[in-house]
Structure formats: structure tokens, C-alpha cells
Copies of this chain bind each other. A is one copy, B any other.
Amino acid sequence: MDENAPIRVYMTRKLIGVSPDDPVKRACEVMMEFDIGSLVVVENGEVVGFFTKTDIIRRVVIPGKPNTTPVREIMTKKLITADANAPLREVLDTMAKKRIKHILISENGKIVGIFSLSDLLTASRRKLETAIAAE
């Protein structure tokens, strides 16, 4: 990993989204299908919310809400973003300070990707593979 490289190098461009009216159960199934820990909520082509497995635990399981609860009731509307040109170390620092494991990446005011700690694992492996290949 090059901690000075822009986060765009490490982010995932494919955003997986659900509708605000989708039930929590459907959102969970999408998370399991794609093996991801967060989803964006999209309405009329705009990202209107975001939520993670932690939000589901905190806002559905603990209060005992049914899995038919619509996503809009549990999503976070205030999006935390990092600029696509921000260096990896700055983004990691923000994530550590805010204690978050996923962050949306924006460019010219538009959400263009997401970065998660799993991407750090991928980056770490990639570096390792490069190192082995160079031996």
C-alpha cells in the first residue's frame, strides 16, 4: 500500500444500492449476496442514504423491529464522504477517528465509489503479491 496514493486507486467503483422502500430483509439479502457490509440507498438516481450492518444491529435487532421495516427508517441521511483525490492515509485517519469501516468517495460533488476496510485487505494482498512476483 502506498499511503500517499489517492483513495481513488483503492476504492470500489461499483456501488450497490437499494430503494428507500425496500424492506430491511431484502437489503440484508443483497448484502449477503455481494458479501458487503454497507449499502447506498438510491432514489431517482440520487444517493439519499447509506447504512451498514452496524446500523441494522442498532436500529432493527436491538429495538426488535420486524425485518419488513423499510430501509428509509434505518438509513443514515447525513453522508460521510472523502474526496477521490485525498491520500489513503488521510482517509484512513478520518475512518479511525470517526470509528467507521466504510466511507463514500465523492468527486465534483457526486458519489463515485466506496472504500471499506476490506479494500485495505485487498490492497495489502496486492502489494504482497507484487513483492513476491518481484522476488
Contacts and interface: CB of A to CB of B under 8 A. Distances in A.
B67 A125 contact: no
- DSSP majority for the A interface? helix
A89 to B, nearest CB: 5
A58 B35 contact: no
B62 A64 contact: no
A96 interface: yes
How many monomers of this chain does the complex have? 2
B120 A96 contact: no
Interface string A120-134: 111011001000000
A119 to B, nearest CB: 10
7 contacts: A28-B58, A29-B62, A31-B57, A32-B57, A64-B67, A92-B124, A120-B124
